[in-house]
Chain A
């Protein structure tokens, strides 16, 4: 992925030679230093950005524009439209997707119940806390029934405790539905706790540095975090990432000095 910029000095190669196969039903975490192109990669997979070279295929078909029937997106911030109630937001998501039918209300309520938010169906987003909104965003992503879900740091704006609870809920939900997930995160613990496989990326331009399996069945309980297996993987990830983070910081310093 090559962002040309206004002139040569602004040109950014965000991703370079990334090759990734994701199995159906697999939960993959993209982990890497900030600015390494994780979100760019996710946007390309989702058809939100067109890659400058290479191909992406989902279920055998190349992706070049958003495909809401197969791919649902959950962003870092709440994307519930503030001018509609929670339930209306669900309806709109189905309407945009072209799958609004007589049973939409039941399906929406089911998804809300699955994340324990059914009593807030007729609330407006501004009446809810950040954690509640993100819970509902997840529910909406699940409700539309796409097979693939792309999550771009969905818990980044939440506090540590809400994050843990939501992570657990997500693990339980996904174990039940068998969706294919690509999840971008900064958090090592989150990656180990949630993923079947963690793809560690290098500093910009992002390449795949390592791919680490987490052999633990879903749903995972919080006790998993206390096991040695969890700690070992976490340590391994930290080792892999440390150099990349250093490199990113060094590159940032260099850019700053060049400007001054």
Chain B
């Protein structure tokens, strides 16, 4: 019964995708100005092949992925460290938690030009921008995770004679893990979006830059090809994040 439900759901999901592609295909047969903005699927496919073979895909992808990885590393380490340190004291949380959530509520996109001014037009500005944006959800979730550990478990472990290290290792860490992971996950997607977004705004290389360039030059088949690559990359990164998350949750 459940397996059958799953099959039905999958069929519908695939059906929607096929229908979208079908509509795209039919629309491009109609002709007119639409063709200019919406190239035929086979043209996009051919362009994807060209980009992959010419090496442009790998050149751009490596810049973007290494920026994302660097930005995310910085955000994760800084976010968890700051979140953990603040959560040690109720006063610090009361002082800084509103500041952090306030800053996170501001659209940092408006500050992107500043990042370019400070860090240059190269990948560094995208790394800094992505790291800054992803830092907030990670830090905020880490604060929430560590300051909401149930007092009962702390008292119980103390009564059982746990040392502070044992209390950290066996009580704080496992108790805080789920919410911290949520923060890391949100931060991950914000990081991808900010790096790509930054690249489309001002950059010399990267997938975002290549996409924006194709749009500026009205090379729509190429534009769609880049978008298709970004979708593939996001799906793959999503699967990777999911795999890491399920693994660490099981432990």
Which residues from chain A sit less than 8 Å from chain B, CB to CB? 46, 48, 66-69, 71-73, 75, 77, 79, 81, 83-84, 92-93, 95-98, 144
Q: Verify A96–B153 contact, CB threshold 8 A.
A: no
Which of B155, B156, B170 has the most chain A CB within a 10 Å cutoff? B156
Minimum-distance CB pairs A-B, first 8: A68-B161, A79-B156, A83-B174, A73-B159, A96-B162, A96-B160, A97-B161, A96-B161
Bound together, the chains give a CA A118 to CA B161 distance in angstroms of 25
Q: Verify A97–B160 contact, CB threshold 8 A.
A: yes
Residues of A within 8 A of B177 (CB): 83
Bound together, the chains give a CA A69 to CA B161 distance in angstroms of 8
Q: Verify B174–A46 contact, CB threshold 8 A.
A: no
Partner of B152, one of A69, A77, A97: A77
Bound together, the chains give a CA A98 to CA B155 distance in angstroms of 17
Given contacts A81-B174, A96-B162, A97-B160, 4 further A-B contacts (CB under 8 A): A79-B152, A81-B153, A95-B166, A96-B160
Partner of A93, one of B153, B158, B160, B174: B160
Tell me the number of A-to-B contacts counted with CB atoms below 8 Å: 52
CB distance from A139 to the nearest CB of B (A): 14
Q: Sort chain B's interface into a size bin.
A: 10 to 19
Partner of B155, one of A48, A84, A144: A48
Residues of A within 8 A of B166 (CB): 95-96
Is B227's beta carbon under 8 Å from chain A?
Answer: no
Q: Contacts A81-B170, A81-B171, A83-B174 given: A66-B158 contact, CB under 8 Å?
A: yes
Residues of B within 8 A of A68 (CB): 159-161
Q: Verify B152–A96 contact, CB threshold 8 A.
A: no
Is B175's beta carbon under 8 Å from chain A?
Answer: yes
Q: Contacts A81-B171, A92-B170, A95-B166 given: A75-B160 contact, CB under 8 Å?
A: no
Return the chain B residue nearest A71 by Cβ: B159
Q: Verify A96–B157 contact, CB threshold 8 A.
A: yes
Q: Verify A48–B158 contact, CB threshold 8 A.
A: yes
Q: Verify B152–A46 contact, CB threshold 8 A.
A: no
Bound together, the chains give a CA A46 to CA B177 distance in angstroms of 30
Q: Verify B155–A75 contact, CB threshold 8 A.
A: yes
Bound together, the chains give a CA A144 to CA B163 distance in angstroms of 17
Bound together, the chains give a CA A48 to CA B160 distance in angstroms of 11
Partner of B161, one of A75, A77, A84, A98: A98
Return the chain A residue nearest B161 by Cβ: A68
Residues of A within 8 A of B153 (CB): 79, 81
Bound together, the chains give a CA A136 to CA B231 distance in angstroms of 50
